[in-house]
Amino acid sequence: QITLKESGPALANPTQTLTLTCTFSGFSLSSSGVGVGWIRQPPGKALEWLALIYWDDEKRFGPSLSSRLTITKDTSKNQVILTMTNLDPVDTATYYCARYFLFSSWFDPWGPGTLVTVSS
């Protein structure tokens, strides 16, 4: 069974840096074609792809936030970490991580998501 789960602060202050961790099981991030992606969804709004990290450590970022994002993986711990700098209230959203398969370009399964509220 493949599972992913996001963890991080529920509340963050503007201008701070957000660190989110995706802990997964049931698959290996060392397998060819496998990646883990981060996607966010502001309340009542659409999904937005943020970042991907692949088995070979290649990293890809969505164009709108690329300057503020960092993504790393710890294969031994089965974790992927996303950091987002200079938070703003508009970054309030549910943040999801999901397994990604490059050779067919799909996300499955997804974690349950974690709601991050940016407010002072």
Q: Which residues bind another protein (CB under 8 A)?
A: 37, 39, 46-49, 52, 58, 60, 62-63, 96, 98, 100, 104-113
CA distance 98 to 11: 22
CB of 109 to another protein, least distance (A): 8
- 105 vs 34: CA distance, rounded Å: 10
Tell me how far, at minimum, the Cβ of 8 lies from another protein, in Å: 16
Least distance to another protein, CB of residue 27, Å: 15
User: Could you tell me if 73 and 36 are in contact, meaning their C-beta atoms sit under 8 angstroms apart?
Assistant: yes
Instruction: Quote the DSSP letter at residue 56.
Output: T
Least distance between another protein and beta carbon 120 (Å): 27
Q: Would you call 89 helix, strand, or coil by DSSP?
A: helix
Are the C-beta atoms of residues 91 and 18 closer than 8 Å to each other? yes
- Residue 67 or 120: the one with the smaller Cβ distance to another protein is 67
- With respect to another protein, which residue has the nearer C-beta, 13 or 66? 66
Residue 87's identity, in one-letter code, is L
Q: CB-wise, 29 or 51, nearer to another protein? A: 51
